[in-house]
Amino acid sequence: MNPFPIEESQAAQPQAVHCPIPSMKFTALFAIALQALGVLAQQWPLHDDGYNQVVQWDHYSLKVNGERLFFWSGEFHYWRIPVPELWRDIMEKIKAAGFNAFSIYVHWGFHSSAPGQLDFETGAHNFSRIFDLAEELGLYMLVRPGPYINAETTAGGFPGWLLTGEYGASLRDNGTKYTEAWTPYWDAVSRMVAEHSVTNGGPVLLQQIENEYGEQWANVARRTPNETAIAYMELLEKATRDAGVDIPFLNNNPNLGSKSWSFDYDINKVGGDTDLYGLDNYPSCWSCNLAECTSVNGFPPDFTTFDYYTNFQQTAPTQPSILAEFQGGSYNPWNGPQGGCLNTTGVDWVNVFYRNNIGNKVAGQNIYMLFGGTNWGGLPIPIVGTSYDYSAPISESRLLTDKYSETKLLSYFVRSAKDLTMVERAGNGTTNYTGNANVFVQALQNVDTGAHFYVAKHTNTTLTSYETFKLSMNTSVGQLQVPRYAADIALNGRAAKILVADFGFGNEKLIYSTAEVLTVSLQARPMIVLWVPTGESGEFYLKGARKGSIFRCDGCTNVAFHQASEGLIVSFTQNAGMTVLQFDNGVMAVLLDRSVAYTMWQPTLSANPLVPLNETILVRGPHLVRSAEVVDGTICLTGDYSADEATELEVFASQVSGSGWQQGGSWPQDGSWDHGPQNATTVTWNGKSIPMRPTRYGSLIGSLTPPNTTIASLQSSIPALKSWLSADGLPERLQSYNDSGPAWVAAENTTTLNAWKPATLPVLYADDYGFHTQNILWRGRFTGQEATGVFLNIIGGTSSGWSAWLNGIFLGSSLGNVTLSETNATLSFPTNSSVSGENVLFIIQDHMGHDETTGVLNPRGILNATLLSPHNNAAAAPTFTSWRVAGNAGGEHPLDPLRGPYNEGGLHAERLGWHLPGFSPITNSSSSSTTWTPSLPPTTALTSPGARFYLTTLPLNIPSDIDASLAFILTAVPTAKATVRVQLYVNGYMFGKFLPYLGNQIEFPVFPGILDYHGDNVIGLSVWAQGGEDGGGGGGGGVDVAVKVLGVVGNSLEPGTGTEYLRPGWTAERLQYA
C-alpha cells in the first residue's frame, strides 16, 4: 500500500475554501464553543487550499485524507551533514523518537554559486533521496525553501552573488531584479515539492513561504497593510502554484506580536495570507549567550513558560495552533562554552516547555533543531563557529542524548493520544484543580469523546520546589479527586505532567491515570504503557476490569487493586525497573520508571505517518530501534546497541500482527486484533537470529552481545597524527610574489551598488569581484618612500581579523572580537620597509560570513585604505596605484562544485588544492619557490607572524559492525588563548575553524563519509599566526591535533560505505591559481 495515499479525485478546485463562519465573528464563536464543548464542534469551518482536499484543517488540527493529525516535527539541515548516506541515520532516529514529520530548510546559496547556475545534482546538493527516505520511513515533510532562511548561515541562505546591491538595496521585497534572481531557484525547488507532495503520493505535507517575515502590517493593531511585503508574498505564492504545488502554504511569524499572513486576522483581506498561520518562538533564548536576545525581547526570563493560546485565538482562531519553529536548543556563539549550553534547554526544559505547549492547545510543533549538524566551510554567520550542535536531542556527532530520550517520552504519548487532535481548553487554574497554589493546571477536553488532558506544572515555573497535590478531574463517572489510594501526585523540581481522563485505546478506556501515558500498542491484545519519575507513585482506573494480576515486579512496591463501580483502580510505586500487570478484560499494563522508559521503543510496522496503533510493537532495551518488520512469524529488528556490555532485548510480540496498513481500516468490533501471523517466537537483530525465551506475560527476552570494539579499544587503535609536511601558507605577502595569474582579479571599480559606500577608492568589496566566503587576500601597490604608514578600516563580520605586511615585512594585525564587525588600525611602516620603486601592501582578512536579516548586504572588504605622510600632511601623501584581490579558486565558478561554493577561501593552500586527496607535495608542487619540508608538528609555535600549511595522513580501519563518532581535538600552544587562526581540512573539506583567543570550541566532530573509515585520510591544517596588534608579539602560537572517539555503538548501517564519490581529488587545473 502507498503510505501516502492519494485522494481518488485530484482535480484542482476552482476556489480556495477558507470557509467563512456564517453570521458570527471568530471571537464570539470561540466563546460559545468554550461554554458548550462538543455541541459546536462541527460549526468550525473545515478549510482546504482550494487545490486539493487531501490536506484540510480546522480550529482543531490538520486532517490528511480525513484523519486528524497532530503535526509533530523536528528540523534537520541536509547541507549541515554533507554525506547523503547519513541522512538515513538521522531520519531513522527522528522516526524512532516518535515523530511523524520533519522539516528542512533549502539553502539557496548552497545550490547557486553564480547567477543562472543551480546545482541539485552533485553530492549533498542532490537532496532528492530525502523525499524517497521520508516516503519509505513514513514521515511527512515541511519544506522551507526561503528564499531567505536565516538559520545562522551566511546571508541567511542568500547566495553571495546576490549581495552586491545589484539586486536591490534591501532584498526580501517585490523589486524586479530581486524577483528575477529568486525565480529560477524557487521554481526548481517548488517543482520538486510538487512531485513529492502528498497529493502526488509523496511525503511533503506543507511548504513554507519565506521565513520569519512578519511584515504584513505597517501597524499591527490597526491592521495597516505593508503593500511591499504583501506584493512580495503574493509573488512567491503565485510562483509556487505556477510550479504545480497544490499543498497548503505555511508561514512562520518571528514573534507573538507580528500577527502576519493569517487569513483570520486579515479581516480586510489585504492579501499575502498563507493557508496556515505559524508561530516561531524561543522562550529561553536562541543563543547560549542570553544577552543576544535582550535587544529583541528583553532579557529572557529564567525557565518561564509563555502563553501561546491567547495569541493563536486572536490571530488564527479557525486554524490549528501550529508552532512552525519552536526552540529545541540554542546555537553557541564564539564566546559560548565548549559543547554548547545543553543544560539551559535540557531534560527538565523539554519536560516542562513541550508539555506547556500542549496545554496551550498547540496541535502542531516543529522543534528547531532536532539534529543541528556542522557549519563546515563558510556556512556560518559571523557570530557562530563551526559547531551547529544546537544542544539538540541528536548531537552533532549523531549520538543520542538524554534530551532525545526525554523528547521520545512525549512523542510516543502524542502519537498514541489520538483524542489530542480535537480539543478545546476546558479551563485552567491552581486551587480550583489541585488545592495547591504552587501548582497550575491547564485542562483540555476532546469535544467528541469527552477525553480530558490535564497539564500540571509549577505556577511559577522557575521554582524547583517539591510539590504534591490531588487533582480534581472531570470524568465519565463524575468529578473525582485523585489519587484515591496512591501517594499524591508530585512535581519534583522543574517538572510537568500530562494526566489523562477517559483516555481511549482501542475498545478500552482509562477513566483516569495519575501516571503519564507513554504509549499504547494494539496488537493481539491492548497494551498501555505508563511511566512515573523513578520512585514516584501512580494510580489508574481501568474501565471494565474486575481482576488484575502482577506478572512481573521489577522495582515495584505497594501495588494494590481496588474495586470500583466501573472497573478496577490500581495504585503503585515504581522504582527503577518495569512492572507488568494483566487484567481479566485482556488489557496488559506496563509500568515503568523514567530510566526504563528511556529504553522503551515503539517501531512501526508500516510506513503510514499517522501510525495506527495496531501497527506497532514494543521493544525494550537497545540503544536504538530503527525498524521492525514481521516476516512469516519472525520479528525482524534493526537498530543500535551498546558496545560496552550485553543488552537485554525484550520484544512484546505475542500474537503480533504482520499485515500492512489498510487505508480506511477500522478497529475490529469484537475486540480482537488477531489478524496476522500469530505467536511470533523468533527474532532477528540486524539480520542475525537472537535466541529468545518467552515470558509468562507473552513477551520474548534475549540478549544482544556487544561488538568486539569499545570506545577504549577503538581509541587505542587510532594512530597519532605525525609525519607532518609543511610549506609557507602566505607567499603572497612577499614583494616578489607574482599576482598576475587567474587567481587574482583587478580591484579597480570606482563605484558600487552597495548602499554602504567606502571611504576610499577604488571599491575594495570582495563581493563586487566575485569572492563571497572565507579568507580574502588583497595586494595594493604604491610608489616611493614618502608614505610613513597606512590607516586601514576593514569589515569582515564579528570575530573577524586581519594582518598586514609591507614588502613582506609584518606591520600588524587586528585580532578582532566578538562584538565588532569592522576594525581599524593605523600601522606605521618600519624603517627601510618601503622602497623607492613599487611597494606592495598585502592584507589577509578573515571573512566570517555575511550577516543576517537587514545586514545581509553589509560589505566584506576594505572600507578605508589611506596612506599616511609625515606630519599627517594629506596633500603630500601618496596614493595607491592599483589593487588586486584573490578569493577561492574560480570565484563564482568554484573548481570543486561537489563540495560547493562555501568550502574554500583564498588561502594559497586552498587555491592550489593542497588540502585535497591525491595532492602530492613532490609531484604537484605549484612552483619552484614552494618548498615542502618534513616538519615539526604544528604544536611548534611559529616564530614570526605568518601562515603555514601542515599536511599529514591518518589511516583508519574502523570495524564495519559499529558506528563510531570521531572528532578532532585542537589545543592552542604555548597558551590556550594563543593568537592563531586555524582551519582544519579533512579529505578536502574545511571542517573546523579554531580561534582559541575568541572562542571555546576545541572539539570538532567529522562525519564518516568525510572521513574514510577504511583507508587513508588527508589531514590539513592552516595555521595563521597573527602576532600582536602593534606589529610585535612574536609568532602567536601553534596547535596540537588529536583524534578522539566520542562514541561507539553496534550498528547495521555501516556508515560511510559507498561515499568515495564525496572525496574528489586534486586536479592539475589548480596549478594556475598559484
Nearest to 533 by CA among 487, 480, 491, 483: 491
- Examine the residue annotation and report whether 325 is marked as an active-site residue of this protein: yes
- CA dist., res. 219 & res. 646, Å (int): 63
684-722 burial: b if 16+ Cβ within 10 Å, else e: ebbeeebebeeeebbbbbbebebbebbbeebeeebeebe
Q: How far is CA 636 from the centre of its chain?
A: 30
Q: Could you say which of 75, 152, 212, 406 is catalytic? A: 212
Cell of 424: 478545546
- CA dist., res. 492 & res. 113, Å (int): 53
- CA dist., res. 910 & res. 901, Å (int): 13
Residue with cell 514481521: 630
Kindly compute the dihedral angle of the four CA atoms of residues 518, 523, 525, 531, in this order, to the nearest 10 degrees: -10
For residue 690, report the phi and psi dihedrals to the nearest 5 degrees. -115, 120
- CA dist., res. 800 & res. 998, Å (int): 10
- Examine the residue annotation and report whether 1003 is marked as an active-site residue of this protein: no
Helix-helix angle 227-242:176-195, to 10 degrees:
40
Nearest to 909 by CA among 948, 873, 956, 871: 948
> Interior CA angle at 138 toward 518 and 419, to 5°?
40
Burial class from Cβ neighbours inside 10 Å (0-12, 13-18, 19+) for residue 666 reads exposed
Cell of 982: 586555524
For residue 925, report the phi and psi dihedrals to the nearest 5 degrees. -60, 140
Cell of 286: 536562541
Cell of 628: 521492525
Nearest to 583 by CA among 596, 569, 593: 569
- CA dist., res. 1002 & res. 994, Å (int): 7
Start-to-end CA span in the chain (Å): 58
| Residue 881 CB neighbour total at 10 angstroms | 11
Kindly compute the dihedral angle of the four CA atoms of residues 606, 610, 614, 619, in this order, to the nearest 10 degrees: 70
Cell of 218: 505597517
For residue 644, report the phi and psi dihedrals to the nearest 5 degrees. -100, -30
149: which residues sit within 8 A by CB, 6+ positions away? Answer: 105, 106, 107, 108, 156, 157, 211
Q: Could you say which of 75, 92, 237, 325 is catalytic? A: 325
- CA dist., res. 505 & res. 274, Å (int): 36
- CA dist., res. 822 & res. 116, Å (int): 32
CB 957 within 8 A of CB 714: no
Given the DSSP bridges, would you call strands 588-593 and 526-532 parallel, antiparallel or unpaired? parallel
For residue 854, report the phi and psi dihedrals to the nearest 5 degrees. -70, -5
Burial class from Cβ neighbours inside 10 Å (0-12, 13-18, 19+) for residue 934 reads exposed
Given the DSSP bridges, would you call strands 278-281 and 321-327 parallel, antiparallel or unpaired? parallel
Tell me which residues are annotated as active site: 212, 325
